Amino acid sequence: MGLIKKIIVGAGALVGVAILAVGVTAVSLWFHEFSSLASTKTLMDANEENHAGPVYEISISGGYYFDSFIEQGGAKNDQELINFLVDNLTKGIIPISLNAPTIGCSSFTFVDEDGDRYFGRNYDFSETTALAVKTNPGGDRHASVSFVDLQFLGITGELDSVMKNLLTLVSPYVPLDGINDAGVSCGIYMSYQSNTVEGIEIAQSTDKDTDKPDLTSTTMLRAILDYADNVEEAIEIASSYDLHDSASTSFHYMVADATGKSAILEWVAPNANDGNDNGQEREFRYYLNDDDAAVGEKEGKDNFQYITNFIVTPNYYSDPDDMGGLDRYEYIQSFINPDGSNTDGIMSYEKGLELLHDVGRRYWDPLHGRTDSNSITCWSSLYNLTDRTVTWVPNEGFDNEDSIFTYSL
């Protein structure tokens, strides 16, 4: 073999080795990310007739760096969260943006005749791409199933590009409701809190600034799913962090566990009812299902709980017309306990699905002559906290068995 040929062959071998080394390094560096992406599957295609977006599922491999996120003290705002996600999950090469759509939702708890505890949740918005996210990070963290609106990551329509698929790696950081393998379930709901400036109401996010570590809206929910064994621990997590709501809006939460305990978690300014609410002076408050008489007479008597989109803290509103979602809130209570005798909230799994259907926006809005931007229930989740299962119904497909999905922990 001539010298030139030997050089060419040798160079080719070196290039091959270099390419192989780069490939091995990439696989090693991105092992969990590649595994996660490979698990993605389509559950339902979009349905224009029903204004239903596509529905997907992903199983996240590994711990998605959430321990590291907590160890660094969390994030004080969306940009700090984005910086962390870019540096860790996307290895600095994939840009990320976070959005918080204006959403309207509802939840409730109940118990069936066998003693199984349930947590129901509707997520209301407009046509969107939904993602079921399965995680099992190991260690002292819980496995969970949660549900994500991919518009929070700037994804609309189908996952029809490499970039869109890569962005789903961030999905564990933006759950809107879910359940963990301890039987703890949690949901997040827009609360439309605002501050009055020169007579104009301006949406105002909670933005606490103390010496506590920090969490954003959806990472608070992720922390509860990953670390909480029960409602008490969820409350402890919420009280241990400064909350920073995303995208200049505001949220409150509802959490429930397999013992039948539940709580509504809110951040409320002392003088909010006089229009003085800049988001920084809000105080953390919680109302337990068996200790919420301050919220109202019916709430005090009922051992089940329910929530929509207004703050339940007493004397928060000076005008009842500001209580968005009051109609659905009152309907939920009257459905579960119509004559005042069912204070324990006993009803069947089937009735739980019926209630989710009744307050679903495709059904509710035309029936009550309503029109607003939240004209669609993107998904309904019915969590059995006792046996750690969930029935998930995207796009109000209650009458179509192909639109009903079940998960078990």
The whole-number pLDDT of residue 136 equals 98
Beta carbons of 258 and 181 less than 8 angstroms apart: no
Higher-confidence position of 15 and 228: 228
Write the DSSP symbol of residue 206: -
| Region label for 396, one of left (φ > 0), alpha (ψ between -120 and 50) or beta (otherwise) | left
State pLDDT tens for residues 327-365: 999 999 999 999 999 999 999 999 999 999 999 999 998
Distance CA 350, CA 312 (A): 28
State pLDDT tens for residues 89-140: 877 767 777 776 667 799 999 999 999 999 999 999 988 999 999 999 999 9
Instruction: Evaluate if pTM is beyond 0.95.
Output: no
Question: Inter-axis angle of helices 3-29 and 31-39, to 10 degrees?
Answer: 70
Share the mean pLDDT of the chain: 89
The pLDDT confidence band at residue 246, using thresholds 50, 70 and 90, is confident
The pLDDT confidence band at residue 277, using thresholds 50, 70 and 90, is confident
pLDDT at 302 > cutoff 60: yes
The whole-number pLDDT of residue 294 equals 96
The whole-number pLDDT of residue 104 equals 77
Helix or strand or coil: residue 7?
A: helix
| One-letter amino acid of 124 | D
| One-letter amino acid of 104 | G
Q: How far is CA 95 from CA 82, 167, 246, 332, in A?
A: 9, 9, 18, 41
Distance CA 72, CA 206 (A): 21
Distance CA 98, CA 247 (A): 8
- 267: Cα within 13 Å, side-chain hemisphere: 34
Distance CA 84, CA 347 (A): 44
The whole-number pLDDT of residue 320 equals 82
State pLDDT tens for residues 256-276: 999 999 999 999 998 777 667
Alpha helices in 144-230 (DSSP H): 162-167, 217-227
Distance CA 205, CA 339 (A): 38
Write the DSSP symbol of residue 76: S
Higher-confidence position of 325 and 22: 325
Beta carbons of 215 and 185 less than 8 angstroms apart: no
Which value, to the nearest 10 degrees, does the dihedral of the CA atoms of residues 64, 65, 66, 67 take? Answer: 140
Higher-confidence position of 304 and 51: 304
The whole-number pLDDT of residue 381 equals 98
Higher-confidence position of 128 and 373: 128
Task: Write out the two tokens for 395.
Answer: 């796009």
State pLDDT tens for residues 193-223: 987 776 777 888 999 999 999 999 999 999 9
Q: Exposure of 271 by Cβ count < 10 A (0-12 exposed, 13-18 middle, 19+ buried)? A: exposed
